[in-house]
């Protein structure tokens, strides 16, 4: 593999420093994204007309899904930007967009004050955040995968979901703190705005940290060799980044296939699980928050272990573990969780589900990054992933709540199972990307 001065001088300490800086920014972005779901139980009545809890949650879940519609656009725009101008530059832009979205939610008056403008502004804020997260995933996955060394790439790349889950945990921790400090009436009235103010402030701190990150060797080498889409005026025009991406149809379809089941399982047992514990199992909001917090804390610890395991045994066996576990386990786990009568039972069931889920979350970023060459890696990782998440992950809560409202909640369990089974077929047929990695050939 050709080297550059940057490659020769890169030390493990500099790699870790850059990975930590990038990961902290990722944590803040995902805190801002998930705090919406964590506090939906409280702000849904403020933004939407009065109704029963399920209908208000349906409205907030619909807006949550709308934010996902911008993720493919974010994956495309930020992916192209990252592949042309650098991973670091794109990560700076994404955190600024997230800051704007959180601040808008924090400052928007309720439905009783400005009527239909309230949910309209909420939608606008989620669109900004969706654009940010859509660009964040592909660029962050690419950055961490390229910054890590070959021997420990699975381990270091797993910190994308470590920080993603940490962001979700931070959102729940803020929720627990506010639930203990404020009355329920205060939370419904104004307390739900506090976490969005915190998110906007934290995003500015992340922006400062990301300014000190190093650019990756893979991008520097690609730029040194000359951008692939530059050509003399008299030459035949070279393809755009998007056209170059479609020259890798198998890789694009692999990203879609391996993401489909994983994203649906992830959103089912993380963001939707808290509402499920309240709306189906009958736990209080405080109990559901504590159960979710404990289970997600366990899941956070599982990510680097699964990532390190993939460095030893390969990516494919770890993905197969997830595929088999999710296909066989979703229906019994969801059924038992809905019937759980104790917090310990609910916590244990969620931990089992999240352990299975970790076979996907810990390594999906590095698997996708290893599929594509450097000149389209951020776009290749981000766009097909964002499209799949927008369709399946973004609609998970809405589908679950709608089926519950229709009285056929168990259909959702089988829907998740079918999608996991489809991804299992993809894992079975795909090569082990650790052995065919394109990162080593850049």
How confident is the model at residue 7, as a pLDDT? 44
Residue 160 CA to residue 362 CA, distance in Å, equals 8
pTM: 0.82
How confident is the model at residue 228, as a pLDDT? 46
How confident is the model at residue 289, as a pLDDT? 84
How confident is the model at residue 310, as a pLDDT? 95
How confident is the model at residue 254, as a pLDDT? 94
Closest CA to 64 of 117, 12, 119, 115: 119
Question: What's the CA angle centered on 164, arms 299 and 78, to 5 degrees?
Answer: 150
* Domains parsed from the chain with CATH numbers: 18-213+246-433 (1.20.1250.20)
How confident is the model at residue 1, as a pLDDT? 37
Closest CA to 158 of 23, 283, 289: 23
Residue 127 CA to residue 125 CA, distance in Å, equals 5
Residue 384 CA to residue 367 CA, distance in Å, equals 13
How confident is the model at residue 52, as a pLDDT? 56
Each residue's pLDDT expressed in tens, for the chain with a length of 442 residues: 334 444 445 566 777 777 777 777 778 878 887 788 778 778 877 877 666 566 666 677 677 667 777 888 888 888 888 888 888 888 888 888 888 888 998 998 987 788 878 888 888 888 888 888 888 888 888 888 888 888 889 998 898 889 888 988 898 889 889 988 998 889 888 999 999 999 989 888 888 878 878 888 778 787 776 544 444 445 556 667 778 888 889 999 999 999 999 999 999 998 899 889 999 999 988 899 889 989 999 999 999 999 999 999 999 999 999 999 999 999 999 999 999 989 999 999 999 999 999 999 999 999 999 999 988 898 998 899 989 988 888 788 889 988 998 989 999 999 999 999 999 999 999 999 988 888 865 4
C-alpha pair distances (Å), 70 with each of 81, 123, 130, 267: 16, 11, 5, 17
* Residues 273-311: b if buried by 16+ CB within 10 A, e if exposed: bbbbbbbbbebebebbbbbbbbbbbbbbebbbebbbbbb
C-alpha 230: how far from chain center? 33
How confident is the model at residue 152, as a pLDDT? 87
């Amino acid at each position: 593999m050709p080297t550059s001065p940057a490659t020769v001088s890169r030390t493990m300490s500099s790699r870790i420093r850059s990975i930590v800086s990038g990961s902290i920014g990722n944590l803040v972005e995902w805190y801002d994204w998930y705090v919406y779901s964590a506090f939906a139980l409280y702000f849904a009545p403020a933004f939407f007309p009065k109704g029963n809890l399920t209908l208000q949650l349906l409205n907030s879940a619909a807006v949550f899904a709308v934010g996902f519609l911008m993720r493919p656009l974010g994956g495309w725009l930020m992916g192209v930007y990252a592949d042309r101008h650098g991973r670091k530059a794109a990560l700076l832009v994404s955190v600024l967009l997230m800051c704007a979205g959180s601040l808008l939610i924090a400052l928007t008056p309720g439905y009783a004050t400005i009527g239909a403008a309230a949910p309209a502004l909420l939608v606008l804020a989620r669109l900004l955040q969706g654009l940010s997260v859509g660009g964040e995933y592909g660029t962050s996955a690419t950055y961490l995968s390229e910054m890590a060394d070959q021997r420990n790439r699975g381990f270091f790349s797993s910190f994308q979901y470590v920080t993603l889950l940490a962001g979700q945990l931070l959102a729940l921790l803020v929720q627990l703190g506010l639930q203990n400090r404020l009355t329920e009436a205060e939370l419904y009235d104004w307390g739900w705005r506090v976490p969005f103010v915190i998110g906007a402030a934290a995003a500015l701190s992340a922006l400062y940290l990301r300014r000190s990150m190093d650019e990756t060797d893979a991008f520097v080498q690609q730029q040194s060799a000359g951008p692939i889409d530059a050509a003399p005026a008299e030459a035949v025009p070279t393809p755009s980044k998007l056209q170059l991406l479609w020259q890798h149809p198998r890789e694009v379809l692999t990203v879609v296939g391996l993401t489909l089941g994983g994203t649906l399982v992830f959103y089912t047992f993380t963001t939707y699980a808290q509402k499920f514990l309240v709306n189906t199992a009958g736990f209080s909001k405080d109990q559901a928050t504590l159960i979710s917090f404990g289970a997600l804390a366990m899941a956070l610890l599982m990510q680097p272990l699964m990532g390190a395991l993939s460095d030893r045994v390969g990516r494919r066996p770890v993905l197969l573990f997830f595929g088999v576990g999710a296909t066989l386990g979703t229906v019994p786990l969801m059924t038992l969780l809905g019937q759980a009568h104790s917090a310990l039972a609910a916590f244990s069931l969620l931990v089992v589900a999240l352990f299975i889920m970790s076979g996907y979350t810990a390594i999906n970023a590095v698997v996708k990054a290893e599929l594509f060459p450097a000149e389209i890696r951020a776009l290749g990782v981000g766009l097909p992933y964002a499209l799949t998440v927008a369709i399946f992950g973004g609609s998970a809560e809405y589908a679950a709540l709608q089926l519950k409202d229709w009285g056929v909640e168990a259909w959702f369990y089988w829907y998740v199972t079918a999608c996991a089974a489809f991804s299992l077929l993809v894992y079975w047929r795909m090569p082990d990307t650790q052995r065919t990695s394109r990162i080593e050939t850049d």
